[in-house]
Amino acid sequence: MIKDLEQNFLLRHIGPSRLEIQEMLDEMGFDTIDGLIQKTIPKSIQTKTPLNIGPGIDEFSLLKRIKGIASKNKVARSYIGTGYYGTITPPVIQRNVLENPGWYTAYTPYQAEISQGRLEALLNYQTMIIDMTKLDIANASLLDESTAAAEAMVMMLRSTNKRNQLLVANDCHPQTIDVLKTRSNPIGVELVIKPVDEFKFTENVFGALVQYPSTDGKVFDFSEICNRAHKSGALVAVATDLLGLALLPTPGEIGADIAVGNSQRFGVPIGFGGPHAAFIAAKENFKRKMPGRIIGVSVDSNGDRALRMALQTREQHIRRDKATSNICTAQVLLAVMASMYAVYHGPEGIKAIASRVHEKTKDLANALQTSGYKIVHDQFFDTIRIALSKQSSQDLKESAESINLNFRYYDNGDIGISLDETISKGDLSDILSVFSSKLSKDNNFNLSLNRESDLLRHNVFNLYHSETEMMRYIHKLETKDLTLNTSMISLGSCTMKLNAAAEMIPISWPEFAFLH
């Protein structure tokens, strides 16, 4: 009987054939796999009954079932913000990176000689972060903005002596504050959460964390905070927005010691909160305290340029009690996507996207102000906070949801709206209709703080701006790596390399990818 391989997932995806399995068993002196298991797995942890997981299904049926589940999700136009925004993934990046096994099946780049393509993409990521924040060093991504903020807390704590208080602005993103609460307690850090203008740098304070722009959109000059902190011997970390930094003065130029954030809005779909590639950038003197990985430029045995993971302490893997950080992983695929987004758009493109987002947000604010609404902060990048007088936020929420719009609703009745690069004239008109408002000719809310330094100056961000050039660059880097589309990788891993193509397809479906 001819085997129906379409119906048998195991035969399609488990590498060894029955003959190869028997050859390996013969070499080890066993008749069956069960015999090998009985010999190697202690009886005390062996299961006595079959796993109750039900029968398997074929890939076509799997995709139909997942599509049915996905259809229960309602894809709305979400303008909630809080660190997550709509973005446009350039098709050349979606097709050639996210959906390409030459990128998503690669192993962690410990072996530099088979990882030169990804290492270059990650070096681009670091360069992008350094350029956008104007700090000296950056790592090759972390798990998310909140854990990056927690790592910044640890870095500042270990850089000061006998201090245990961290000042945290109460207008940081709520998820960041929650993670800080979780991570601070075990290491004896006392969080002091209050408005920025109430910060007091006492002898017990080792650092401060501010959100720039704040979670409700306020853009402000925090140089005075940096000056006061440094005068008292404390340090300052800033959670920031990469796209906003195309227009706003940078953390490094204002005086911050550390900057954290995530790169999601550089072409990575929201994905119901993740995963996304976060970043941490810092002054040079923090390089031995940085979590994760730093990619560096070196030379090989022939004297040619070569890339490697230059700074990643082994203690993060084996002597964890001695580690500077227990973060030893990264979001490589998503960091690659974000770096390619910067490569593809270049400095002028990134500034144009940021300017478009800001101008649309100004249009929204001017229209609402003309209609009698109070805009709480007059300095903002992409997020406004609206104070209501007569209408209830619940009525406006029902009106917004009736036309598929999601806003942010504050406990005091205010409404927050964060725009992004996907916003169209039609979207803006729909948002204004919720407030019974129309576009105004007013031109208020111009930024008083503006970035004056260059960004993305390296050649790689100024060469590949057509789809053909970009496709060739991505392919050139792909061919420098060992992945499953070229060879078996004889290493264990928790990466996506073992996922079947059918399991990967749904990640780009709007019902999963576009949920806030």
pLDDT of residue 1: 42
Q: Write down the pTM of the prediction.
A: 0.93
Instruction: Judge: domain 346-435, CATH 3.30.9.10.
Output: no
Token pair for 40: 């190697």
Is the sign of the CA dihedral 50, 52, 53, 57 positive or negative?
positive
pLDDT of residue 508: 92
Residue 81: name the closest of 308, 417, 317 by CA: 417
pLDDT of residue 385: 98
pLDDT, averaged per 10 consecutive residues of the chain (516 residues), comes to 63 80 94 92 88 85 94 96 97 96 85 92 98 96 93 94 95 98 95 97 98 98 98 98 98 98 96 92 92 90 90 59 67 95 98 98 97 97 95 95 97 97 97 96 94 96 98 97 83 62 92 93
Q: Which fold has domain 112-343?
A: Aspartate Aminotransferase; domain 2 (3.40.640)
Q: Could you state, in order of their start, the residue ranges of all structural domains in the chain?
A: 112-343, 346-435
pLDDT of residue 288: 85
Residue 122: name the closest of 348, 287, 296 by CA: 296
Token pair for 433: 């209709």
The phi, psi pair for 387, rounded to 5°, reads -90, 130
pLDDT of residue 353: 98
Number of helical (H) and strand (E) elements in the chain, helices listed first:
17, 15
The phi, psi pair for 120, rounded to 5°, reads -70, -40
192 vs 23, 187, 227, CA distance in Å?
Answer: 64, 15, 19
End-to-end CA distance of the chain: 49
pLDDT of residue 7: 64
Q: Which helix (H) or strand (E) is 208 found in, with range?
A: strand 205-212
Tell me: cis bond preceding 213? Omega within 30 of 0 counts.
yes
- The backbone region for 196, taken as left when phi is positive above 0, alpha when psi lies in -120 to 50, beta otherwise, is alpha
Token pair for 449: 């703080």
3-state percent breakdown (helix, strand, coil) of the chain, nearest 5? 45, 15, 45
Query: How far is it, in rounded angstroms, from Cα 62 to Cα 510?
Result: 18
The phi, psi pair for 415, rounded to 5°, reads -125, 135
